[in-house]
Amino acid sequence: MKQTHEKKRADDMDALKAELREYQRENTFFDLLISSLPGLFYLFDSDLYLHKWNKNVEIVTGYSELDVRSKHLLELFEDDALFLITEGIKKGFSEGEVSIEAPLTTREGRKIPYFWTAASTTIDGKQYMLGMGIDISQRKQAESALMESEALYRIFAERMTEGVILCHNFKIMFANKAYTTMAGYDEPAGLVDINVLDMVAEGFEVYFREMLEAVQAGLAGERFFQARWRTRAKREIWIEGRAVHIQWKGQPAVLMTARDITEAKLKEISLQEETENLRRENINLRSSIKDRYRLGGIVGKSKSMQAVYERIYSASSSNANVVIYGESGTGKELVARAVHDMSRRSGKPFIAVNCSAIPENLLESEFFGHKKGSFTGAYSDSPGYLDQADGGTLFLDEVGDITPALQAKLLRALEGSGYSPVGSSVVKHSDFRVLSATNQSLREQIRAGKMREDFFYRVHVIPIHLPPLRERKEDIPLLVDHFLGIYANEKGLKEVGGKVMEQLIQYDYPGNVRELQNIIQRYLAMRTIDFIVSNNGADNHVANNNGEAACDSGPNGSVENGDAAVGAGQDLQSSMDNVEREMIRKTLAAHGNNKGRTAEALGVSRKTLFRKIKRLNL
């Protein structure tokens, strides 16, 4: 019985020792954890005596363990910090937790800014506070530097005579006195948090939104602007200035400087209007003169051309978009150039685009440009037609061949919503006027689903219809003289004979003015007037060596020549081959067999000439 009792007692002692060792192990771990914490760890009671702390407390304060044990907590704080800590401790014990900022005073009297956080607990009926302190010296230094920098900025901005505003996400964060006065406000505070776009006058909102977004995003480091703004009293003023990208309190922002240029701008506008009125008076004076023979590069005195001239004058005095209708070879680009040259945009680029000659997969790149690497072969950034035409005129030849998808994007650009180069998300804007040309019915294109109706109405504001040459034959002598003056300088030939002119007037010219131009070039090279098809369907060929026709019409309405006769028994293709073969042979001989000059004289490309020489076995 005694042995059993002693064994039980030994077992109890072993269990108690094991529990004590576990407690000591946990306490050692807890002590190690506390001592390794990076901040200041502390545990104090409601009487404000420290019971537990880590090694950092001794290192930072300079007090030894013995000093700390004998120190009252409030002895570590002075002045305002003492008040903050005292109030914070009261709050922590009453509410359960607290967070405050207060500087800690070290043994040497140095004050270190700290952020304190603590939570209260009750152990054996007594209240304790357990918490941490974090050194915030670096943060305070950064804040101080930032405040000093901000103060300097404000002093500098306030002393500037130009207006200064600081924006973030379109909201005004700061405005100086000069800008406040300019905008019609009493105090700068009245501008804070106002959306800067609400101050921009109508018509400039899209431009300013794009500019502010680009500058704040860092896509443009600096942008110059000139625009109309509204004051608080809704009075419109003209301002100009610069917008630059800056970092403000760690976030991207836009700093704008601006000055009121209303007086100077109104004088400029008045001068422009005066100049425009004089230009219009000049146009009206010129348009009142009857029997005009020439306008720019256009030649003709017929009634139909006089009507075209009137349209050109009207279109040139406007900024509206123009569409020019006419058959191939009627001179639609000449009309477009005349409108541009007589308009207020004459000093800016005239960009001509043959829409039917651009592959569909390159349309967007050609019009809007592209960024380097946006597709195979894009080795560098490249501007598009809209970039090149900024401030000037974009001439769209064969506008009916533009795809509906591209029409939609061009429409956005025309309406001020901008465009983006291929491979870029940056929205760009271009101020351009559209002059279009087509030999098709655009309304039929709409019905066929090949043209958007909204795009049609955007470009079809002022229509100009060019008559075909067969409907204005009284202009042919003027055109012949015009082309002789251009191409006959080295030939010494200033006019054609009466019979040759008669034949030229009788022909219907399916290729219009361009065909007449080529006929005159060939005539100067070969002294031969050549028509592809006469009015009655037969081949027509007139040889002339001294300014007169060498022969008369044959029995089938053809005009024969001793060297190259076109007669019965030949089909159309054979007759045409004979004429072409003889023309090329004579022109080669006249130019010493020089292919380049021969091609130029015949009005064809070298490639076409080589192909014909091979086909005709010359």
Q: What is the pLDDT of residues 331-380, one digit of tens each?
A: 999 999 999 998 989 889 999 999 888 888 788 888 998 887 667 666 78
Residue 326 carries which DSSP code?
Answer: -
Bridge-based pairing of strands 222-230 and 236-248 is antiparallel
Per-residue pLDDT, 18: 61
What number does CATH give the domain 37-135?
A: 3.30.450.20
Q: Do domains 141-260 and 291-467 have the same CATH topology?
A: no
Q: What pLDDT was estimated at residue 152?
A: 53
Strand partners, 135: 114
Given pLDDT bands bounded at 50, 70 and 90, which one contains residue 179? Answer: confident
Tens of pLDDT, residues 375-406:
766 678 788 999 999 999 999 999 998 999 99
For residue 511, what pLDDT band results from cuts at 50, 70 and 90?
confident
d(CA 40, CA 132): 5
Which pLDDT value is given to residue 146? 63
Confidence at residue 561, expressed as pLDDT on a 0 to 100 scale: 38
CA dihedral for 231, 236, 242, 243, sign (positive or negative): positive
3-state SS of 372-411 is CCCCCCCCCCECCHHHHCCCCEEEEECHHHCCHHHHHHHH
Assign 330 a pLDDT band (cuts: 50, 70, 90): very high
Q: Per-residue confidence at 586, pLDDT binned at 50, 70, 90?
A: confident
Mean pLDDT value across the chain: 79
In whole angstroms, give the CA distance from residue 429 to residue 238: 21
Distance CA 229, CA 238 (A): 6
Least confident of 104-108, 229-233, 428-432, 473-477: 104-108
Q: Is the pLDDT score of 318 beyond 90?
A: no
- Least confident residue range of 526-530, 593-597, 607-611: 526-530
CA distance to 16, 33, 35, 356, 439, per residue, from 29 (Å): 20, 6, 10, 83, 93
Q: How buried is 229 (Cβ within 10 angstroms: 0-12 exposed, 13-18 middle, 19+ buried)? A: buried
Bigger pLDDT: 471 or 150? 471
Residue 590's Cβ-count burial label (10 Å; 0-12, 13-18, 19+) is middle
**pLDDT bucket at 137, cuts 50 / 70 / 90:** confident
Integer Cα distance of 618 and 614 in angstroms: 7
Whether the pLDDT of residue 326 is over 90: the answer is yes
From the list 162, 60, 50, the residue with the least C-alpha distance to 104 is: 60
Q: In this predicted structure, what is the pLDDT of residue 540?
A: 47
Strands 251-260 and 236-248: antiparallel
- Given this model, what pLDDT does residue 291 score? 47
pLDDT on residue 114: 85
Assess if CATH 3.30.450.20 describes domain 141-260. Answer: yes
Q: Give this prediction's pTM.
A: 0.48
Identify the CATH homologous superfamily for domain 291-467: P-loop containing nucleotide triphosphate hydrolases (3.40.50.300)
Closest CA to 581 of 612, 604, 550, 560: 612
Task: Please tell me the distance from the alpha carbon of residue 418 to that of residue 458, in angstroms, as a whole number.
Answer: 15
The stretch 156-184 carries a mean pLDDT of: 83
The structure tokens listed for 349 are 């680029």
pLDDT of 226 above 70: yes
Question: For 12-45, what is each residue's pLDDT tens digit?
Answer: 566 655 655 555 555 555 555 555 556 787 788 8
Tell which wins on pLDDT, 277 or 230.
230
pLDDT of residue 88: 87
Per cent of the chain over pLDDT 70 is: 80
Best-predicted range by mean pLDDT among 149-158, 295-304, 528-537, 605-614? 295-304
Structure tokens at 463: 């229509």
Tell me the mean pLDDT in the region 154-160. 59
Q: Which residues contact 247 (CB under 8 A, 6 or more apart)?
A: 253
Asked if the model's pLDDT at residue 249 lies above 80, the reply is no
How far apart are alpha carbons 173 and 181 in whole angstroms? 17
Q: Which residues pair with 294 in a beta bridge?
A: 299
Whether residue 541 has pLDDT greater than 90: no
DSSP annotation of 254 reads: E
**Helix 595-602 and helix 572-590: axis angle, to 10°?**
130
pLDDT in tens, 73-101: 787 888 888 888 888 888 888 888 888 88
**In the chain, where are the structural domains located?**
1-31, 37-135, 141-260, 291-467, 473-615
At residue 410, does pLDDT exceed 70?
A: yes
